[in-house]
């Protein structure tokens, strides 16, 4: 059960994060333990879950059964929207379900500016981080204004912002702001969630043919070369192996530019500015 050779990226808090991992969003109860077990067996060491995914316990069970030393793993979970005013208790419950004494990254899942609770949640995450039980803290789906509020009110910069980002929705202004602040970007839905013809676009297919790679590998490599952290979702072991084959080729400047030109500012997930599910 050797670890894959996946690069680590430096975070602004001095920690390191594997650039590629496995996410378990929309992995059904009863399947997540097998998916995570397969990922760990293939050699992944970075797992991304969340309270609302309802599979933290299965993730924890797979980790426990793997026998992999805890310090070789990077585990992320997230604070759900209804828990923003009780983050400490929600965090303890997530640890209990995971069967862990700490996580490597804890995120506020959505900003929900219409309720005005994210700042309270962020202050709680700062306190959690001070205990060492969350090695790094960050946010998910935060827009520039949401991030600015945290910076202005606390001075503590999130380590990461996990956002929907793919060639059809490149979030350039937000990405530039995060870069200025030293906030690493984790791209969720890095392949546009299979809801478009992205993998059939000539910019993708021509690069795939040139490098002897799949269209999905080309898109994931595009992310990697821009310094983003990715965790494409898959239920299939063979696709996990394929997704890891990103570090033995490099897209040319022209190939990168052709993919950059695909931006349509087209999201397939919820709009963070209006998402109010609780």
CA atoms of 34 and 141, how far apart (whole Å): 28
CA atoms of 89 and 267, how far apart (whole Å): 33
CA atoms of 91 and 97, how far apart (whole Å): 10
Cα dihedral 250, 255, 261, 262 sign: negative
H or E element, residue 57: helix 56-66
Q: Is 53 a catalytic residue?
A: yes
CA atoms of 94 and 233, how far apart (whole Å): 21
DSSP single-letter state for residue 166:
B
CA atoms of 125 and 120, how far apart (whole Å): 9
CA atoms of 66 and 60, how far apart (whole Å): 10
| Tokens read off for 74 | 């990077």
User: Are residues 129 and 137 in contact, defined by beta-carbon separation less than 8 angstroms?
Assistant: yes
CB-count burial class (<10 Å; 0-12, 13-18, 19+) for 200: exposed
Other C-beta atoms lying within 10 Å of the C-beta of residue 116: 10
The catalytic position among 44, 53, 106, 222 is 53
Q: Which residues are catalytic?
A: 53
């Amino acid at each position: 059960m050797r670890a894959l050779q996946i690069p680590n990226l430096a975070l602004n808090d001095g920690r390191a994060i594997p650039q590629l991992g496995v996410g378990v969003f929309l992995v059904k109860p009863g399947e997540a333990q097998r998916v995570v077990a397969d990922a760990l067996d293939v050699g992944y060491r970075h797992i991304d879950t969340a309270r609302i995914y309802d599979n933290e316990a299965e993730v924890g069970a797979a980790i426990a059964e793997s026998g992999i030393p805890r310090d070789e793993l990077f585990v992320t979970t997230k604070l759900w929207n209804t828990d923003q005013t009780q983050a400490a208790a929600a965090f303890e419950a997530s640890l209990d379900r995971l069967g862990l004494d700490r996580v490597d990254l804890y995120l506020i899942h959505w900003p929900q500016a219409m309720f005005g609770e994210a700042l309270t949640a962020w202050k709680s995450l700062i306190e959690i981080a001070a205990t060492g039980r969350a090695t790094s803290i960050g946010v998910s789906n935060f827009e520039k204004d949401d991030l600015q509020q945290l910076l202005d009110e606390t001075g503590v910069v999130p380590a990461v912002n996990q956002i929907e980002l793919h060639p059809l929705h490149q979030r350039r202004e937000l990405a530039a702001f995060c870069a200025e602040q030293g906030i690493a970007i984790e791209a969720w839905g890095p392949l546009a969630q299979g809801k478009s013809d992205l993998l059939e676009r000539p910019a993708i297919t021509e690069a795939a043919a040139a490098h002897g790679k799949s269209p999905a590998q080309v898109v994931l490599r595009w992310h990697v070369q821009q310094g983003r952290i990715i965790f494409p979702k898959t239920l299939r072991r063979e696709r996990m192996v394929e997704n890891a084959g990103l570090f033995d080729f490099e897209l040319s400047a022209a190939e990168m530019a052709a993919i950059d030109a695909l931006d349509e500012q087209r999201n397939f997930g919820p709009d963070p500015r209006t998402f109010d599910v609780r």
